[in-house]
Structure 1
Amino acid sequence: MHSLIFGLPDVFAPGVATALVLTALRVGGLLLVAPAWSAKSVPMRLRAALIVLFAVLLLPAALESADRSGLAITPATFLAETVVGFALGFAAALVVAGVEFAGELATNTIGLSGAAIFDPLGNTQGALFASFLQLLAVTLLLLAGGHLLMIEAVAKSFTVMPLGGPLALDRGFLPLVKAGAQLFASGLQFAAPVIAAILLTNLALAVLGRAAPQLQVMSLAFPLQIGVGLLTFAGSIGLVVQALGGWTTPYHQTLDSFARAAQVAPAPAMGASR
C-alpha cells in the first residue's frame, strides 16, 4: 500500500477512496444517534467535519480487514455501513434514553408535568427532571470517556464486520429491538423510589382523610406530594450516578449481540480488548 505522510493510506490507491466513503458512512451512522455527538446544538458543518476527520483517522483500521478489490458503493453497502454505525450509537443512546425516561416518570408522578424546561441538547422543551437527568447522564458519559469509547467501537467493528462484507441485517436488528425494551425497564427502576414514595404519601393522606374528615386533606396533598417527591428524587440521584458508572458493560453486551447476530461468518466479539 502506498502511504502518505503521517502513515495515512494513499487515497489514489485502488479501493482506498471507496473504503474512505464506506468508513464515513459507518461513522455518520454513529453520529446520527450517539449521545452528545447527535445533539442538535452541534452545528451541521462541525458534524460533517467530524465525519470526515474520523473517517480519515479510522481508514487504516478499516483497510486492515477489508477486501479492497471487492469494495463497491452500492445501495446494499450504503445501507449496511450506515446501519452498523447506527447500532454502535443506538446502544449508547439507550443508556441516556433510559435515564431520561425515568425523569419523565418522576416528573409526572410528582405532579410537575406542566413545568417544562429548555433542553439544550435537543433544542426543545422537555420535562424538568427528564432534561436534568439527560444532562447528568451525558456529562457522566463524557467524563468517563464514553465519546472516545464509541469511536473505539467503530475501529473494532472493522475487525468483526469488515467494510463491504456480507451482513444479515434482519437478524442483527432483533438484539437491538430486545435491547430497546431495557429502556423502559431501566427507566422504571430509576424512577421506582419516587413512584413508591408518592404512592405511600397518597395512601397515608387517604387514610388520614378517612380518619379525620374535618382536615382539609386536599389542600395538603399537592404541596406534600411535591415536597416528598423532591426529597426522594434528590436522595435517589446517587443511585442513578452509581448505575451509570457501569454503563459500559451493557453497552458492550448489546454490541456483541448485534455483531454475532449480523455476522455471516464467525468473528471475535466487539467488546473484547485487543
Structure 2
Amino acid sequence: MISFTLAQWYGWISAFLWPLARILALVATAPVFGENSVNARAKLAIGIAITLVVAPVIGPLPDVSPGSYAGMWILLQQVLIGVALGLCMRMALAVVQTAGEFIGLQMGLSFATFFDPGTNANTSVLSRLMYWIALLIFLAMDGHLMLIAGLAHTFEVLPIADAALGRSGFGSLIEWSGQVLTLGLVLSLPLVTALLTMNLAMGILNRTAPQLSVFAVGFPLSLLAGLVMLAIVLPQSTPFFDRLFSAAFSAFERIVLGLRP
C-alpha cells in the first residue's frame, strides 16, 4: 500500500504553489499575457503550464509549511516579485502611450478619446494605436519568449527563500518608472517639434493676415500634417523600440539582482 506523509504533501504543494504565485503575478501584469482581452482562464492556464515546466528544475525550497505564517510570507514575496517584474515590462509600453498622448495633444486629437477596456479609462485614439504597434513589434522581436525565459532564470538568480527581499530592487523599479516621461518625450519629439513650428507659423500668419481664420485653416492643416509625418516617422521607429525593450530587459535584470536578500 502506498502512503504519503504530511511533510511530503507539504513539500509537493510548496514546490508548485510558490513558483505559481510568482509566475501568475507576472502573467497578470506583464504585456501580452496581462491584457484584459486575454481571458482569465487563459492566463491561469498559461501560468500553470509555465509552472509545470519550471517547478521540477527549481533548486531546494525552504523547509516551511505552506499553511504557516512563514509559508504565507514566502507566498506574498513571490507575488511581489512577479508584480514588480511585470510592471517593469509594462512601463516600456507606457512610454509609447505617453508619446501618443503628446503627439495627439499637438495634433489636436486630444479630444478624440474612447473607453479603453485595457486600462478602464478614457484613452487617446493615437495613444492606443501606437500602443498596439509597439505590442506587435514586441511580439515580432520574440519579446514574449524572452520574458518567459527571463522569468525562468529568476528562480536561479532569486531563489525561493524565507529571507527578506532586498530593497534596492524596488528602488530600481521606481528609477525605471521615472524614464517613462523622458523616453516618451524623446519618441514624440520629432513630431511635436515639427507641429509646434507649424503652429507658430500659423500664429505669425494670423497676425499678418487677421482676416485668415486660424481655427478654420490651422486645425485641418495640423491634423493632415501630423498624419503624414506619423506615416513617415513610425516605420523608422523600430530601432527606438528595439533599444526601449532592451532597456526594459536591463531594468528587469537590475530589479531581480536588487531583490536578492
Name the TM-score, length of structure 1 as normaliser. 0.83
Alpha-carbon distance between aligned partners in 2 of 1:203 and 1:161, rounded to the nearest angstrom = 54
- For the 8 Å contact 1:88–1:153, the answer to whether it is kept is no
Match of 1:213 in 2: 210
Alpha-carbon distance between aligned partners in 2 of 1:107 and 1:251, rounded to the nearest angstrom = 25
Q: CA deviation at 1:215?
A: 2.8
Alpha-carbon distance between aligned partners in 1 of 2:137 and 2:115, rounded to the nearest angstrom = 20
Match of 2:11 in 1: 15
1:134 aligned residue (131, 134, 139): 131
Q: Which amino acid letter does the alignment assign opposite residue 165 of structure 2?
A: A
Mark the runs of 5 or more structure 2 residues left unpaired by the alignment.
1-7
Match of 2:61 in 1: 67
**CA separation of 1:217 and 1:123: change in aligned 2, threshold 3 A:** closer
Q: Deviations over 1:8-59 (max 9, x none)?
A: xxxx576232021000000011012100101111111121122211111110
**CA separation of 1:248 and 1:101: change in aligned 2, threshold 3 A:** closer
Q: Which amino acid letter does the alignment assign opposite residue 40 of structure 1?
A: N
Alignment of 1:69-108 (within 5 A): 69-70=63-64, 72=66, 74-108=71-105
Match of 2:41 in 1: 45
Match of 1:33 in 2: 29
Q: Deviations over 1:73-122 (max 9, x none)?
A: 53321221011112222221111111011111111221112223464755
Alpha-carbon distance between aligned partners in 1 of 2:80 and 2:166, rounded to the nearest angstrom = 8
Query: Matched residue of 2:123: which SS?
Result: strand
**CA separation of 1:231 and 1:112: change in aligned 2, threshold 3 A:** same
Match of 2:155 in 1: 158
- The percentage of aligned residue pairs carrying the same residue is 25
Q: Which amino acid letter does the alignment assign opposite residue 82 of structure 1?
A: V
- For the 8 Å contact 2:195–2:226, the answer to whether it is kept is yes
Q: Greater CA deviation, 112-121 or 237-246?
A: 112-121
Alpha-carbon distance between aligned partners in 2 of 1:16 and 1:155, rounded to the nearest angstrom = 19
Q: Which amino acid letter does the alignment assign opposite residue 91 of structure 2?
A: L
Q: Deviations over 1:104-160 (max 9, x none)?
A: 111122111222346475576521111111111111111221111111111100111
Q: Deviations over 1:223-247 (max 9, x none)?
A: 1111222222222212432211234
Match of 1:237 in 2: 234
- For the 8 Å contact 1:41–1:122, the answer to whether it is kept is no
Alpha-carbon distance between aligned partners in 2 of 1:259 and 1:52, rounded to the nearest angstrom = 22
Q: Which amino acid letter does the alignment assign opposite residue 39 of structure 2?
A: P
Alpha-carbon distance between aligned partners in 2 of 1:75 and 1:170, rounded to the nearest angstrom = 20
Mark the runs of 5 or more structure 1 residues left unpaired by the alignment.
1-11, 265-274
How many pairs were matched up? 252
Alpha-carbon distance between aligned partners in 2 of 1:206 and 1:247, rounded to the nearest angstrom = 36
Alpha-carbon distance between aligned partners in 1 of 2:208 and 2:119, rounded to the nearest angstrom = 48
Alpha-carbon distance between aligned partners in 2 of 1:101 and 1:142, rounded to the nearest angstrom = 20
Alpha-carbon distance between aligned partners in 1 of 2:56 and 2:135, rounded to the nearest angstrom = 30
Q: CA deviation at 1:258?
A: 1.2
Alpha-carbon distance between aligned partners in 2 of 1:227 and 1:248, rounded to the nearest angstrom = 30
Q: Which amino acid letter does the alignment assign opposite residue 49 of structure 1?
A: A
Q: Quick check: 1:116 aligned with 2:113?
A: yes
Q: Quick check: 1:203 aligned with 2:200?
A: yes
Q: Quick check: 1:176 aligned with 2:173?
A: yes
Alpha-carbon distance between aligned partners in 2 of 1:260 and 1:156, rounded to the nearest angstrom = 11
Match of 1:4 in 2: none
